[in-house]
Chains A and B, each alone.
Chain A
Amino acid sequence: MKILKSLLVASASFLLFACNQHHEKLPILGERQTMERMVNGKLEVDTFYQTIPAFSFMNQDSAIINNDSLKNSIYIADFFFTSCPSICPIMSKNMLSVYQKYKGNNEVRFLSHSIDPKHDSIPVLKKYANKLGVTGTQWSFLLGSRDSIYNIARNGYMNYAQENEKIPGGVEHSGYFILVDKDKRIRGAYDGTNKEQVENLKTDIDILLNEYKSAKK
């Protein structure tokens, strides 16, 4: 009887442990809609998650970056401008530490959207990338029209960016890093000025990459 009991406990804890290991997944953030449909006479419910709307911007190498170019990558998005005196340098420094961890892994990409397209021309963005020590195509610094960038910040990434003459730099924006999966769904948001949260982002990137790895198996 005693043996049976301990066996039961052991197998239960093993199951629990196994469950934990295989089902570590990131939540899917944003709005969701459900749609009911009939399949072979049975009612099924489909869930539609909020995704990043289609976009097309130019990066520091004058290459077009759109939904298609990120098909096989997860990516981290943020909003910045090169002459920003407030939170941007800290954000760039923290993003740089994430970039350095995944440098060379094309499954992880970075999109930094400039919210000051008047000043941040392609050569300005290129110089900024170079001086930051960013090479290659993994990290794109994006130029788009002001409205399209502000729009995707608000409606796509649940971020905000707007002009405000009262603050240094003339544009205010939130400092979030947004983690987006291969299906363009938002899987995490992290304060880009906070070292601890940036560490959480790194952990979550690993978890997300693992989701794809175990799905492949």
Chain B
Amino acid sequence: MRKYVLLSIGLTVLVAIFFSACSEESIKYQRYYSDGLNLYKTHCGNCHMEDGSGLGKLIPPLTDTIYLKENRDKLACIIVYGLSDSIVINGIGYKEKMPAEKHLAAVDLAKLLTYVTNAFGNNQGLYDISEVEKNLRNCK
């Protein structure tokens, strides 16, 4: 009997540790996501639209989850330096220039990308500031 009690106490402690770590991460995610939403409205929404739907064949939507996943390490560079190459989103080619947003801090980029990669039907989790900093060092 004593053995079971000890075991269950141990298990509860383990579960509690697991959940507290998890919620710390999820609190950070929530904060990044909601700050990201405001940054998105200020810096991106005019062109990509509040719902991420873009504009005709002029401005691509942000709903191409596969593109976002495959180019995850390039996203910060695209925001900071803009884009002049053509890209294919949801099977449609876009050739217009995307203007650079050079003034954004790494933490804001992390929040923005957390929002973009989790809104509009995307679901790719936290985009941390360390990831942004690492990727920015490799911009072409």
* Contact segment of A125-133, A138-146, A180-188: A125-133
Contact with A along B22-65 (1 / 0, CB 8 A): 00000000000000000000000111010000011111000000
Asked if B125 is at the interface of the complex by the 8 Å CB criterion, the answer is no
**A85 contacts B by Cβ under 8 Å:** yes
- Number of A-B residue pairs with CB-CB distance less than 8 Å in the complex they form: 33
Residue pair A90, B49 in contact (C-beta under 8 Å): yes
Q: Once bound together, how far apart are the Cα atoms of A168 and B55, in whole Å?
A: 19
Q: Which residues of A contact B45 (CB under 8 A)?
A: 90
Is A96 an interface residue when CB atoms closer than 8 A count as contact?
A: yes
B side interface size, CB within 8 A: 10
Across the interface, which residues of A come within 8 angstroms of B57, CB to CB?
130-133
Count of chain A residues with a beta carbon within 8 Å of a chain B beta carbon: 14
Across the interface, A131 reaches (CB within 8 A) one of B49, B56, B99, namely: B56
Task: Return the chain B residue nearest A134 by Cβ.
Answer: B56
A85 in complex: contacting residue of B46, B49, B56, B58, CB < 8 Å: B46
Bound-complex Cα distance A132 to B46 (A): 16
A93 at interface by CB-CB < 8 Å: yes
A residues 163-180 near B (Cβ < 8 Å) are 168
Query: Nearest Cβ in chain B — how far from A184, in angstroms?
Result: 30
Asked if A89 is an interface residue, CB under 8 A from chain B, the answer is yes
Residue of B nearest to A96 (CB): B56
> Do the beta carbons of A132 and B55 come within 8 Å of each other?
yes
CB of B47 to closest CB in A, whole Å: 5
Q: What residues on B are CB-neighbors of A151 within 8 Å?
A: none
- Shortest C-beta distance, B60 to chain A (Å), equals 11
Q: Is the pair A90, B56 in contact by a Cβ cutoff of 8 Å?
A: no
Binary interface encoding of chain A residues 106-149 relative to chain B, with 1 for a CB under 8 A from any of its CBs, else 0: 00000000000000000000001011110000000000000000
Query: What is the minimal beta-carbon distance from B133 to any residue of chain A, in angstroms?
Result: 27
Question: A86 within 8 Å of B by Cβ?
Answer: yes
Chain A's closest residue to B47 (CB) is A89
Report A56-95 residues with CB < 8 Å from chain B CB.
85-87, 89-90, 92-93
In the assembly, what is the distance between CA of A133 and CA of B92, in Å? Answer: 13
Assembled-state Cα–Cα distance A25/B45 (Å): 36
Known: A89-B58, A132-B56. 15 other contacts (CB 8 A): A85-B46, A89-B47, A89-B49, A90-B46, A92-B55, A93-B49, A96-B55, A96-B56, A128-B58, A130-B57, A131-B57, A131-B58, A132-B57, A133-B56, A168-B99
B interface, CB within 8 angstroms of A: 45-47, 49, 55-59, 99
